[in-house]
Chain A
Amino acid sequence: MSELSAVDRPNSYIGRSVPRPNAKRLLAGRGQYVDDLRLPRMVHVAFLRSPHAHARILAIDSTAAKAAPGVVRVVTGAEMAAVCTPWVGVLHHLKGLKSAPQHALAIDRACWQGEPVVAVVARTRAEAEDAVGLIEVAWEALPAAVDMEAALAAGTLVIHPELGDNLAFQREHVGGEPDSCFADPDGVVVQATFHTGRHTGVCLEGRAILADWNPAEGRLTAYHSNQAPHMMQTVFAKHLGLREGDVRVICRDVGGSYGIKVHVYPDEMATAALARMLARPVKFSADRIEGMVSDIHARDHRITARAAVTKDGTITAMEIDDLTGIGPYSVYPRTSAVEGNQVVNLCGGPYGLRGYKARTTVVFQNKTPTCQYRAVGHPIATAVTEGLVDLAAEAIGMDPAEIRRRNLLPDDGYPFRNLANLAFEGLSHHACLTKLLAMMDYEALKAERDALRAKGVYRGIGIASFIELTNPSPFMYGIGGARISAMDGATVRLDPDGSIAIASGVTEQGQGTEAMLAQIVAGAVGVDLSRVRVTTGDTETTPYGGGTWASRGAGIGGEAALQAGNALREQILVIAGAMLQAAPESLDVRGGAVVDRATGAERLALEELGRIVYFRGDTLPKDLPRELVATRHYTPKDYPFAFTNGAQASYLEVDVETGFVTLLKHWCVEDCGTVINPMLVDEQIRGGVVQGLGGALLEHCVYSPEGQLLTGSLADYLLPMAGEMPDIAVAHVETPTKESALGAKGAGEAGTAGAPAAVQNAINDALRPFGARVFAQPFTPARILTALGKI
């Protein structure tokens, strides 16, 4: 028998769909979300938000509000600025990125509809809202820069005059020889203009924070619905004039995040500052209506793009010109230039090109700020790339699957650095595509589509290959000067009863981080899963870390946990060896007991070992180390990012009379390396696909020309609902990363990355008999009917 790998131990839980340890607690209503917490002397804050996209604040009269029942304090921007300093969302490595100082409360000017302007603290949220209604603000409405297409035009208002213009960031990248590819007289050039509608990630639990300042200790404690407690510790400290060590951030249960809860929000900063001002606990819980105008938005892009293809089906070059509007400020501290930057990085990613040229132009506008939302830039880049690939296939009369087969990077061609300068350690595009086509029975599906077409039923098949950036190294944020950790730690401890406690720097927002950690450690140490407890989300009690975002939880936090679990096992075996007078190498820990490695015979239960070490240490050799705690950290070092890949397909029907799209089936094959918990990974993929489908068909933050959000509630901002969702079949190819012993790459964003492209291509396949095409998301009935020339 070959030697077992580090993750393939006899009692390993890796690769098993075990239930998550926190599921029962949450289902039983015993979760502790921020809004469930009640502290003595706690008060609530509500915000008066700007009703205008852009307006000067001439005067604020809060006399009536201050006298209203239950009101504790009314605070304006100027008063707030004395306690909380402003921030600027730039990173050094995004060269030229500029932004203006942003305050927790607008001082003399509000720059988007929904920007917080006045904070009212009262005994209850209802009283605070009542009092907000009594505040009189004298506004002077200003012209607003709303349309991103006009942001840089002469005559458009410059939102921050001190910045000179509305250009936040621009980057152009050229790789290989795009010009000669496009000039090739034997080639065909296809082009299109794509729009990805502005949308937002709607978390089941809205943003929330309960901040408490204890003047006796000089400490701030923030219970925060957030993904990155250590990042917030830094941010609160910096802007409230504290030392990092005097801030504790606790993220207990978090009801969804999708990147929404990894940014700095003025209302949350104001809440922390108010706790300090009042020296008592202050709670802010964003309701859905204010969430729609204050949670970050994303994906507001217009991309003109073209591709060159030879007549025999070799895609030689792509050229991308991206424009995106990010609202009036680059969001702190991750910045709002990352999404456009990702579009430049990711377009054409699955393919071996000879020429690549991409540019992003990131502009300010008077709308809700945008920033990183699940799959940052990927759904945009994939829709553009895969849209171009399908156009190329159509132009030369080739099957869409076949053109991908001919152009996808070969599975044996790694490591590889592409023209966008991305380094790939090992991808499996062909294996994924082959598996996808087999799963969907591609040839039979095409035959069915064609047979139905003859009967006037218009169905389409759309395929999309994609890459996904996961496990980011310090090259993502740290290099740009942000105190956002790329490293994560895990501490694993054996208690006297033989149970294991884990504390990890990565965090849980519903995706199953804690299940993943428990599985890894239970296997590494050698105990039953039920004996493992997990703590995450507390800057005071967990090792330092980045938290969970950018599909890094399992790949980085999981590897740290594996190393810590292995280390603890080794420590246990040293002690057990002394107790049993055996060589530690001849022993192992399995099923909660020290066993003989060769025979598996039980030698010593862990509780017995624990009893002796903790209570009868006098019976052990004096110089025996007795450490039953191990901490390990992990940072990816070989590659800036662990890229993953996959392929998706959509099968749908377009009602060509009404423009309505019915999703019939969706498939996703992806390669996240080692699959730790298949059920959790599959549900990550499905959830991600649904978010992608939402963006493709339904979700859209629509603004009036004056900059008023017209889709301000869930009656108008259409989320995908179960009834409209197709069955989603998921399968995997596993190419573990060699950088870590665990081999896990990320899986959280793959579904979202590819789904819109697959739908776009399927709709255009269905519309092909009419020569109609759509490239503007969401693909609404009106847009499809327009493409069909019916309206």
Chain B
Amino acid sequence: MKPAPFAYARAASLPEVFDLLDRHGESARLLAGGQSLVAALNLRLSSPGILLDINGVEALRGIGFADGVLRIGALTRHAELGADPLVARHAPLLARAVPHIAHAAIRTRGTIGGSLALADPAAELPACALALDATLVLASRGGERRVAAVDFFQGLYQTALRGDEVLAAVEIASRAGQACTLQELARRHGDYAIVGLAAQAGPPGAGVALAWFGVGGTPLRTPRAEAALVAGDLAGAQAALAGEIDPPADLHGPPALRHHLARVLLGRAAAALKGH
């Protein structure tokens, strides 16, 4: 299929993006890596009037570390995320997630901002953001606001982003030296997960964050399972999942499939965290 006709504008700065958003309102869509959006256009699932290409906006690029906080620009490609030494040190969970995302060509173009803004419930990075207690920096003409990941993902493909906002960056307090693991089951390498788990331990003695993907309409945390796991009760944690996730039936199988696989992944994650 060919996309429905659309206009195209390339912005060089954030103010320019805001101008264009003002001018075109609802009919505009931001174009980052295009790895989800262009497919949607070609399938005519989405037919925006104009694409606002943000790839030239320097302010959305780069990875930096200051005052104990890692800041990842929204235009950071998946491939850059996986290769960056600051990410490897301060948020190794993200680096571990990258090899699971799609295929090399897609990782070269796809961006962290696009992945978080899209909020695919089966995607790795939104769950990682949740597990890392990341803060999302949303920019608009009025300035920046910071939203915790837990408040950002609101429903199936629904986020806290307003129509006049751009996701500018992700901020993560350093997790250097803390255990983490990413477990997922996908039919083929690079497919979206049937079930995935991003698990991030805190400092010694503190809790562990379990953020699931592929089990519902949003990435989600399972606090009761987390509590049981911290208490050393893996079986209890696995049992607690039954009440905390409510996965759908789909082409992969009935809900029982995901319930079962989630328990298996939790066991594997617990072993991996312990072995850290």
Residues from chain A with Cβ under 8 Å of B24 in the complex: none
**Assembly CA distance A710 to B187 (angstroms):** 17
Closest residue of chain A to B255 (Cβ to Cβ) is A791
| Interface pairs (20), CB distance under 8 Å | A126-B2, A133-B44, A289-B1, A289-B43, A658-B185, A710-B251, A711-B251, A716-B251, A718-B188, A720-B188, A721-B188, A721-B190, A724-B189, A781-B194, A781-B253, A781-B261, A790-B260, A791-B253, A791-B256, A791-B257
B-binding residues in A (CB < 8 A):
124-126, 129-130, 133, 287, 289-290, 657-658, 660, 698, 702, 710-711, 713, 716, 718, 720-721, 723-724, 780-782, 785, 790-791
Which residues of B from 128 to 160 have beta carbons under 8 Å from A? none
Residues from chain B with Cβ under 8 Å of A660 in the complex: 185
CB-based contact B257/A785 at 8 Å: yes
Residues from chain B with Cβ under 8 Å of A702 in the complex: 251
CB-based contact B252/A782 at 8 Å: yes
CB-based contact A782/B253 at 8 Å: yes
Q: Does B254 sit within 8 A of A, measured CB to CB?
A: yes
Residues from chain B with Cβ under 8 Å of A791 in the complex: 253-254, 256-257, 259-260
Residues from chain A with Cβ under 8 Å of B3 in the complex: 126
**Assembly CA distance A124 to B5 (angstroms):** 12
Main SS of chain B's interface residues? loop
Q: Does B235 sit within 8 A of A, measured CB to CB?
A: no
Q: Does B4 sit within 8 A of A, measured CB to CB?
A: yes
Extra inter-chain contacts (18) besides given A711-B251, A716-B251, CB under 8 Å: A129-B1, A129-B2, A129-B4, A129-B44, A660-B185, A702-B251, A713-B43, A721-B188, A723-B189, A780-B252, A781-B185, A781-B253, A782-B253, A782-B254, A782-B257, A785-B253, A791-B259, A791-B260
Which residues of B from 237 to 262 have beta carbons under 8 Å from A? 251-254, 256-257, 259-261
Could you tell me the distance in whole angstroms from the C-beta of B31 to the nearest C-beta in chain A?
A: 19
Could you tell me the distance in whole angstroms from the C-beta of B11 to the nearest C-beta in chain A?
A: 25
Residues from chain A with Cβ under 8 Å of B185 in the complex: 658, 660, 781
Q: Does B264 sit within 8 A of A, measured CB to CB?
A: yes
Could you tell me the distance in whole angstroms from the C-beta of B98 to the nearest C-beta in chain A?
A: 16
CB-based contact B257/A718 at 8 Å: no
Residues from chain B with Cβ under 8 Å of A125 in the complex: 2
Closest residue of chain A to B195 (Cβ to Cβ) is A658
**Assembly CA distance A720 to B188 (angstroms):** 8
Contact with A along B183-205 (1 / 0, CB 8 A): 00101111100100000000000
Residues from chain A with Cβ under 8 Å of B256 in the complex: 791
Closest residue of chain B to A783 (Cβ to Cβ) is B253
Residue A126 contacts which of B5, B252, B253 (CB distance < 8 angstroms)? Answer: B5
Closest residue of chain A to B261 (Cβ to Cβ) is A658
- A723-B43 in contact given A125-B2, A782-B252, A791-B257 (Cβ < 8 Å): no
**Assembly CA distance A782 to B1 (angstroms):** 33
Closest residue of chain B to A660 (Cβ to Cβ) is B185
Closest residue of chain B to A723 (Cβ to Cβ) is B189
User: Most chain-A CB neighbours within 10 Å: which of B190, B252, B261?
Assistant: B261
Could you tell me the distance in whole angstroms from the C-beta of A674 to the nearest C-beta in chain B?
A: 37
Contact with A along B1-13 (1 / 0, CB 8 A): 1111100000000
Residues from chain B with Cβ under 8 Å of A658 in the complex: 185, 261, 264
**Assembly CA distance A713 to B39 (angstroms):** 11
CB-based contact A780/B253 at 8 Å: yes
